[in-house]
A and B are shown apart, each in its own frame.
Chain A
Amino acid sequence: MEWDAFWLSCQLAAATLVLLMPFGVWAGRALAYHTFRGKALIEGLVLLPLVLPPTVLGFYLLVVLGGASPLGEWLHETFGVTLVFNFTGLILASLLFNLPFVIPPAQRAFEAIDPRLREAARVMGLPRYRIFWQVELPLTWRALVAAAVLTFVHTLGEFGVVLMVGGNIPGETRTIAIAIYDRVQAFDLAAANQMALVLLLLSLAAVVTTFALSARAAVPRRSE
């Protein structure tokens, strides 16, 4: 068991969550409540990482952000920042490939709120932040927590994009999924199996949690 790889994966997943959840909730809510030109295009782009092979996404990130690209060059010269083959680059890639795991579920959760509830809240004069905290969040938190759990586990196990953008630098970009691949390449199946089992159990727990949360949201409560 390579604990430092596991730990790195956890850090990556946590960083992704912290950065992506606020943005994802905001974006999902905006998509749920507003209609605007180009909405379908944005919804499509958000889903793209789901259908795109991870290596393709990783490849283009390398092309766009790598030191040879104008953007990569500019970033390096202006801010001294490199976004490939390091942890920051991994976070950026991870944010992108987790978009479809956060924004569409958040959008559906906000769309499911009876619009009359928000209208009633507005007529009562509640300020927007109160409407969000007292009406919208209590009615969407299950879906949002489910999305967060999936995102976390999905990031733990992501392989293709991470390998393309991060490479395999121990302590910097060597995540648990890459460590598993590495161990198999080295015919160290016992170590690979240990780590694979951890990921399997975590994924299973995540899926069960997600289902449990959405099932409780769907069950109609007692009525007379």
Chain B
Amino acid sequence: MDGTETQTLTVAVDQREPIPLTGRLTVPAGKLVALVGPSGAGKSSLLRIVAGLLRPQHGVVKLGASCWLDTERRVWLPPEARQVGMLFQHYALMPHCSAEVNVAMALWRLPRRDRQRLARAWLERVGLPESHWHRLPNALSGGEQQRVALARALAAYPKVLLLDEPFSAVDALRRSELYALLATLRQELTMPIVMVTHDLMEARLLADEIAVIDRGALLQQGPTEHLYRSPRNARVAAILGIRNRFVGRWLGPDPLRPGWGRLEWRAHTERDDAPVIAVLPARDKGRIPLGQAVHWVVQNDALTLRTCDAPPCPGNPVRLAVTVTSVRSSGDFSLVEVALSASPQLCWQITLTGRERHRFQVGESAFLCLDPSWIHVMPIRRR
């Protein structure tokens, strides 16, 4: 929208002290990458490294060909030289300046008259009513402050946009309005965008890609759907909130079905004589050694819950006899927990929407149909 060239942001960090932080992050121009992970995982630190507010022990930050940080070559650009737009967690609006002056401050390089004109144009664009332009931040609601902060972050046409928990201080109603605003603005934004969030739904809703960070380590980055379908390991799956995680042993390729292998589902992997629940078909990518202990996960998309009298599922699913153990309604969907009838300690969770959610009662027997092409197998790395 501003005609300037925008490029891919690449970040590589390797730090032991004061907090461990390692990994790589790549954000293509115009893409929004959500950094997700538990609190204290290092999400905000990573953002601060990109902004130049934090200098890692070892690391490289590059935007296209321009280098902002390279500890090996002793390159370091201060934040004021990076042209980054940043939305801080609690907005960090100047408490003594009106909404308009807050935005104009980001435009300080321009002549005074242009500053005011552009600031007003941005406030209009983020939907702050004109009557509020001269209010101080503490006379604005959380959502309004967020709009001002967003206008301020974008006003100077930054080369990178950083959003630190942008919606955490806004109530749920305002939040969906702001999601829509960000989605609208994004159509015109051509710079790489990094958003830190602990809200997975928000990440899935707004991001093109998700990067998972845990205890200072960037574990995996990829397109949202890819990540949910093929998390790299059990920890990534757990952070992404994939509920159906199980263990087993990889039995190798299935001689009768090319491209498929056999997965032995076990109750646990502590001992070799752990009870075997079933042997399931799963896609064979040829990467897992024979007999390897594995985690495996299945996304909700692969699951269908059927009453006992319903006709069999179409296709060739795995059918598991289960008992419904809990039904929890949450807004537009219900979270149903079922236990295997044969081994009740093994539970599955499935979300149901629409008419389906009223069909099942606690204690009822049912069939869980599982599309095996969605089974994702990950080797367990023993430390």
Contacts and interface: CB of A to CB of B under 8 A. Distances in A.
A125 B88 contact: no
Contacts of A222: 138-139
Contacts of A221: 136, 138-139
Interface in A210-224: 220-224
A135 B97 CA distance: 9
Interface string B98-140: 0000000110110000000000000000000000000010111
Contacts of A121: 94, 105
B109 A120 contact: no
Interface string B65-89: 0000000000000111111111010
Given A116-B92, A139-B96, A224-B140, A123 B84 contact: yes
B94 A124 contact: no
Nearest to A130: B108
A135 B106 CA distance: 13
Contact of B156 (A122, A125, A135, A223): A125
Contacts of A200: none
B88 A119 contact: yes
B51 interface: yes
Contact of B80 (A122, A139, A220, A223): A122
B154 to A, nearest CB: 12
A114 interface: yes
Contacts of A125: 79-81, 83, 106, 108-109, 156
A123 B95 contact: no
Chain B CB within 10 A, most for which of A117, A125, A126, A130: A125
Contacts of B79: 119, 122-123, 125
A126 B92 contact: no
A127 interface: yes
B141 A224 contact: yes
A138 interface: yes
A124 B156 CA distance: 8
A162 B106 CA distance: 50
Interface residues of A, number: 22
Contacts of B90: 116
Contact of B88 (A116, A127, A139): A116
A contact patch SS:
helix
A124 B139 contact: no
A182 B139 CA distance: 57
A224 B141 CA distance: 6
Interface in A91-133: 114, 116-117, 119-127, 130
A220 B53 CA distance: 29
Given A117-B94, A223-B139, A124 B108 contact: yes
B152 interface: yes
Contact of A126 (B80, B86, B138, B140): B80
B92 A119 contact: yes
Contacts of B84: 123
A144 to B, nearest CB: 14
A120 B138 contact: no
A155 B284 CA distance: 86
B2 to A, nearest CB: 16
Nearest to B86: A123
A135 B236 CA distance: 42
Contacts of B140: 224
B156 to A, nearest CB: 7
B138 A223 contact: yes
A69 interface: no
Nearest to A119: B53
A124 B82 CA distance: 9
A134 interface: yes
Given A116-B88, A119-B88, A139-B96, A124 B106 contact: yes
A122 B53 contact: yes
Contacts of B141: 224
Contacts of A223: 138-139
A126 B82 CA distance: 12
B203 to A, nearest CB: 23
Chain B CB within 10 A, most for which of A122, A123, A138, A223: A123
Interface string A201-212: 000000000000
Interface in A6-56: none
Given A123-B79, A222-B139, A139 B95 contact: yes
Contacts of B85: 123
Contacts of B139: 221-224
Contacts of B53: 119, 122-123
A69 B95 CA distance: 53
Nearest to B81: A125
A170 B51 CA distance: 62
B105 A134 contact: yes
Nearest to A118: B92
Nearest to A127: B80
A120 B52 CA distance: 11
11 contacts: A119-B92, A122-B80, A123-B51, A123-B53, A123-B82, A123-B84, A124-B105, A134-B94, A134-B105, A138-B96, A139-B96
Interface of B: 51-53, 78-86, 88, 90, 92-97, 105-106, 108-109, 136, 138-141, 152, 156
Given A126-B105, A223-B139, 9 more contacts: A119-B88, A120-B86, A121-B105, A122-B53, A122-B79, A123-B51, A123-B52, A124-B108, A125-B83
